[in-house]
Chains A and B, each alone.
Chain A
């Protein structure tokens, strides 16, 4: 038995692979759900279906998916270029810091000025956090996986330091920042819901990124640089510079996510501003095949599961962590199944195994 490279990927293959992965995930999670004393089928229904059956549920899914859209597409852009940015979490946090800084410093700005400024500050914060690893990679060849990853807890410490020190809430004394100026509040995108304009900005960013990645010369160069850097270099692509740029864009977009979360949901900086969105972004990007459409679908799916998990834990009295377990198993299953897109299994008799390469 061995893996053989596929010549041509049949159209039905990717959806079938995902379906198989989902079935495998359902089968595997049935065990812990049973152990937690709930009926697997009822649990699945609440994980996946219940959030979509009510308007308010749908709104919650969109709201939960918003930060994942930002971090997902941010990671996807970097990964495509072969720059393994695992630091979207830190870049997200620095974006939140940037937005909070302008939001608590220029409190009187009117919304038309404040909102763009808030996003700009968020992007700048994320970009700033992405610059150091990208520069180290370009100048000294230092592995970005390590540097971007290690900067994540540093970013969280910066947030905590600020909240325990200079940015401690001036009226309550809690370790939350002051509220942003009212001009910095993102308006609701859908009336009477918590879905804010951050979702709209995310969709715009993803559409632009999707077009650039899939339809432009730059997109082809990014793909070439990521998949075969030597060949890209041979064809005149400056791989180092392209990766540097993608790293910065990636950081800036993750920072926009932080800005969106501060201005759209919390309206202040808190230590829990990111619920691991940067890390989940890696899952979103990878599961989404590093493409724009994939990122949207996976972000929505994970939003769905995450809203469903809250519901499940309330109604069925099982731990909320089962939702995270569900997502993690799904990642493993889908990634395994996706190898079938590039390889197919070939069974051959043992006697001929040494016969050819």
Chain B
């Protein structure tokens, strides 16, 4: 990349060039190039699964890329372990700290750098205090780490990086576990690091944070770098749209330093819309937005509500995770639920699945009140579920056939015993119908992500649910499985079932949904027919622009 913004800085401290990493069919990183200059804070935004962590692992020597180079201070490095990365001046503060709770701050900081020889404790302590002063961290160097708060521990980790004379500090989701006060303290520390001339890379999916501390924002989506913006001039909604994949001309026009060519962006988006999909009304309307006609079409083809949430509220520890959600999904429609992750989608899916209790409000499936019903009764009422947590939905060591009947065991019981023939026949039928590449007796743990998702899809659809709740149904899937899942959801709608589609992928939402609902901080902040759901409008709502 030869952007204009990079001209202002002399020589990048950290430079990634063409990093590519492939896991099977999945491109975790696709030709990612990135620079961090001295005294610059770069934020890397991206939804879960966008490839951020893989990229960080590459930089830190935990994963070896298939192609591309990492250079520090212009020197290409052969980083194959965190030790190499540290030696090259790269420090990383991960979400999980590697601190010994029963040791003091000083000992923890010194620990990673000491060999087997003698340790000059007084000297070490002096250097630790000095490193802390440099970044304005005030901690008692003799306190036990076990007695520190999470925020303080994080600061110890940062001091650790400085202690090793790191020049580039990578902070991976640094605010995920912090209180607001700790976040302020962290940002102050980051500013000090910048003043000291270090290069800082903050990985995050929180727009607000990024706006507050970074100089530049890069956006990663499906393994590709899809945006590189100067923080001061970029709007939140533009970033939200970039993260979730809705690229518009406006967005492209507003770019100061486009990292990827606009044509590349369009190509990426074009590829993700299934082309072999049966001509569904939603796809057509999404492709050719003609306001006015859409509303009529949507209500015309749909029937009675098969899922209805009324004032649904979920609180935990005095905090509302979901507050007063009113939402209906009618027979024969797909309702898309948009939102930046962490705004209540996961909780909504858990509540519907029956694994998180409702605090107040009601929940109906096909006219039956299932607010406090257990999983079995919800399934009997006609609910189907496909959550983002695939591994938490199957028993990995159990066979494909047993996993397939796990939710429906009584139906396969004859005179008290499991009807093995029926179980096997069901598995064979499902394997055939859903094109699962496995034998009935294979352990599910050995299946690929796509095949595992097909097993779950088969289980969810086998009982012909009236409404299907799906979350991130295509995350991590290759293009073939991606299309297949979309096709199945579309068929389900054609057969007259309702679908609630939760996704962090705007293209997916816009390609499949009839209506789109936006969730922000646990509340519904917008609802519109898909034709009106432009990436820009969704971006505004997802960034909180629509809430009072």
A-side residues, CB < 8 A to B, are 5-8, 211, 215-217, 219-221, 223-224, 227-228, 230-236, 238, 342, 354-357
Contact = CB atoms under 8 A, between A and B. Distances in A.
Contacts of A354: 63-64, 80
Given A234-B353, A355-B64, A215 B418 contact: yes
Given A5-B446, A6-B446, A216-B417, A236 B398 contact: no
Contact of A234 (B392, B397, B442): B392
B396 interface: yes
B401 to A, nearest CB: 10
Contacts of A217: 409-410, 412-413, 418
B375 A228 contact: no
A356 B420 CA distance: 38
Contact of A7 (B63, B392, B410, B443): B443
Contacts of A235: 375, 393, 406-407
A162 B532 CA distance: 81
B142 interface: no
Interface string B402-432: 1001110110110011101000000000000
A5 B395 contact: no
A224 B398 contact: yes
A252 B540 CA distance: 62
12 contacts: A6-B446, A7-B443, A211-B417, A216-B416, A216-B417, A220-B402, A220-B406, A223-B395, A232-B395, A233-B375, A235-B406, A354-B80
A231 B412 contact: no
Contacts of B443: 7
Nearest to A225: B395
* Interface band, chain B: 35 or more
Given A216-B416, A217-B410, 18 more contacts: A5-B445, A6-B446, A211-B417, A215-B420, A217-B409, A217-B412, A220-B402, A220-B409, A224-B398, A227-B395, A228-B394, A228-B395, A231-B395, A233-B375, A234-B375, A236-B407, A238-B374, A354-B63
A236 B375 contact: yes
B23 A357 contact: yes
B363 to A, nearest CB: 16
A223 B374 contact: no
B376 interface: yes
Given A7-B446, A236-B374, A236-B376, A231 B394 contact: yes
A115 to B, nearest CB: 27
Interface string B1-37: 0000000000000000000000100000000000000
Given A234-B375, A354-B80, A221 B409 contact: yes
B379 interface: yes
Contacts of B392: 228, 230-231, 234
A217 B408 CA distance: 9
Contacts of B397: 227-228, 342
A264 B281 CA distance: 77
Nearest to B396: A228
Contacts of A215: 417-418, 420
A233 B355 contact: yes
Q: What 9 pairs across the A-B complex have the smallest Cβ distances?
A: A236-B375, A217-B409, A354-B64, A7-B446, A228-B395, A236-B376, A235-B406, A230-B392, A224-B395
A226 to B, nearest CB: 9
Contacts of B417: 211, 215-216
Contact of B442 (A7, A221, A230, A233): A7
Contact of A223 (B379, B398, B413): B398
A217 B376 CA distance: 14
Nearest to B63: A354
A319 B497 CA distance: 74
A233 B64 CA distance: 37
Contacts of A216: 413, 416-418
Given A5-B446, A217-B412, A234 B63 contact: no
Nearest to B374: A236
A216 B409 CA distance: 9
Contacts of B391: 231
Contacts of B375: 233-236
B355 A234 contact: yes
A130 to B, nearest CB: 25
A283 to B, nearest CB: 22
B41 to A, nearest CB: 29
